[in-house]
Amino acid sequence: MKSYAIVLAAGKGTRMKTDLPKCAYPLLKKPMIAYIVENLKNTELIDETIVVVGHKKEVIHNILNNSVSYAIQEEQLGTGHAVKMAKELIVDQDGLTAILPGDMPLIDEFVLKAALDKHQKANHDLTIVTTVVEDPFGYGRIIRNGDNVIDKIVEENEASPLEKEIKEINTGIYIIKNNILFETLDKVNKDNSKGEYYLTDIVGILKSENALIGTYILKTSYKAMGVNDLYALSIAESKLRHDINMRLMKSGVAMINPDTITIGHNVVIEENVTIYPNTYITGNSLIKKGAAIGPNTEIHHSYIGENVSCKHSLIFNSTIQEESKVGPFAHLRDGANVGPRNRIGNFVEIKKTSTGYNTKASHLAYLGDAEIGDNVNFGCGAITVNYDGTNKYKTIIGDNVFVGCNANLIAPIEIHDDSFIAAGSTVNKNVPKGTLAIARAYQVNKENYMNLKDKKKK
């Protein structure tokens, strides 16, 4: 028996007032729709996820690629119509389908698992996940009869003043038996204020046919929050941030002023790490134990080794090995691989460059497209000149090399072990092992020159 999930993501998101399809909006740099698909996968109870796309479908496709199947809703005629688009993909009549909105990023795998479990154990034809909220405005209201059994769902626009008082709402998650799903959807009409096919109408229809309808009532109601506008997006993001920070602090990550710290959903941080204020860590980053990160640091998709410290720095798609110190004001761009016990200091930029053990660039340096060995010291202002306006070239530096202040290393170039580049040199030829390279004009001192100049003036 096959279990399907249908995620509705074809809507434009009119209330967002911008062009990006709503479900592509990011929370902590990750699109809303990606959370839902990932959590469905984490339940390990769904065999196939079908995402219904329509408005700017290529944007959603670029986020999820081949991790899901797609159904296309050319015209957005309502949530009921959207589900119908998946009909051809749902072939196992004995199975079940979970239906979820794509604008509900806080829902987690545990809620989905619990609802699926209840649906199966109680042998419901349809299970609706509901929750009770303080302010139900905008949500479909759950109408129960005298026996507390669900009768129907009434949308905000259709609700009477009395129904509007009801605080139990439809989260938009349904689990339904496949053998009744599409025949019920065929009975939904668009006789309502919006002229749309409301998915919520299946409840009343099934009720009139004496189907067994149950609810799963979610206690942590904020997890069912629907994100319809940019304000709701900011609230959802801060809830998610709070949850992630709480989980990390409880697992042994110290946070100084956690309200200013943003950690992405897929970031892994080991215990005994300290994070200082105004720090963002996102993507698939891994922070090993003993590290100190921040203040004012941004790390994306990077590996930070044990006992590393990074202050006031930007680190993207890079790695920093154990015991290294980075910052303040360092910028590690794509493919910077900093070795163990390095010192990368003020205003140093590193790109597509690896360094060995105990290498130092303490101030004002640019290291790009380079392979650098152990115990190398870059003086203040040292630069790998890697770009001639058209092509990029490599710099290779061996072990124990001293690069003096303001040296320009014009690539392609190789500086071999134990050599020394004199300060102010512009070198464009390879430097053999153990060599002192000086490439600068000799100094000329014109003695007494200033006195002569002063006399002329008079």
Q: Which residues participate in catalysis according to the annotation?
A: 363
Task: State which of residues 127, 130, 200, 285 lies at the interface with ligand UD1 (CB under 6 A).
Answer: 200
Query: What sign for the dihedral angle of Cα 60, 65, 71, 74?
Result: positive
Question: Which of Ca ion, ligand UD1, none interacts with 213 (beta carbon under 5 to 8 A by kind)?
Answer: none
Q: Taking contact as CB under 6 A, which single stretch among the options 196-204, 321-329, 336-344, 410-418 is the one that binds ligand UD1?
A: 196-204
Task: State which of residues 5, 6, 8, 275 lies at the interface with ligand UD1 (CB under 6 A).
Answer: 8
Q: For Ca ion, which residue has the nearest CB?
A: 226
| Residues of this chain, 93-152, that bind ligand UD1 according to CB under 6 A | 101-103, 139-140
Task: State which of residues 11, 26, 381, 404 lies at the interface with ligand UD1 (CB under 6 A).
Answer: 11
Confirm or reject binding of residue 226 to Ca ion (CB under 5 A): yes
| Residues of this chain, 46-85, that bind ligand UD1 according to CB under 6 A | 52, 73, 76-79, 81-82
Burial of 239 (0-12, 13-18, 19+ CB in 10 A): middle
Confirm or reject binding of residue 223 to ligand UD1 (CB under 6 A): no
> Nearest approach, Cβ of 270 to ligand UD1 (angstroms)?
36
| Residues of this chain, 356-395, that bind ligand UD1 according to CB under 6 A | none
> Nearest approach, Cβ of 81 to ligand UD1 (angstroms)?
6
Q: How far apart are CA 68 and CA 49, in angstroms?
A: 5
> Nearest approach, Cβ of 156 to Ca ion (angstroms)?
11
Confirm or reject binding of residue 155 to ligand UD1 (CB under 6 A): yes
Question: What is the size of the binding site for ligand UD1 (CB under 6 A)?
Answer: 30
> Nearest approach, Cβ of 208 to ligand UD1 (angstroms)?
18
Q: Which residues of the shown chain bind ligand UD1 in the complex (CB under 6 A)?
A: 8-11, 22-23, 52, 73, 76-79, 81-82, 101-103, 139-140, 153, 155, 169-172, 198-200, 226, 228
Q: Which residues of the shown chain bind Ca ion in the complex (CB under 5 A)?
A: 103, 226, 228
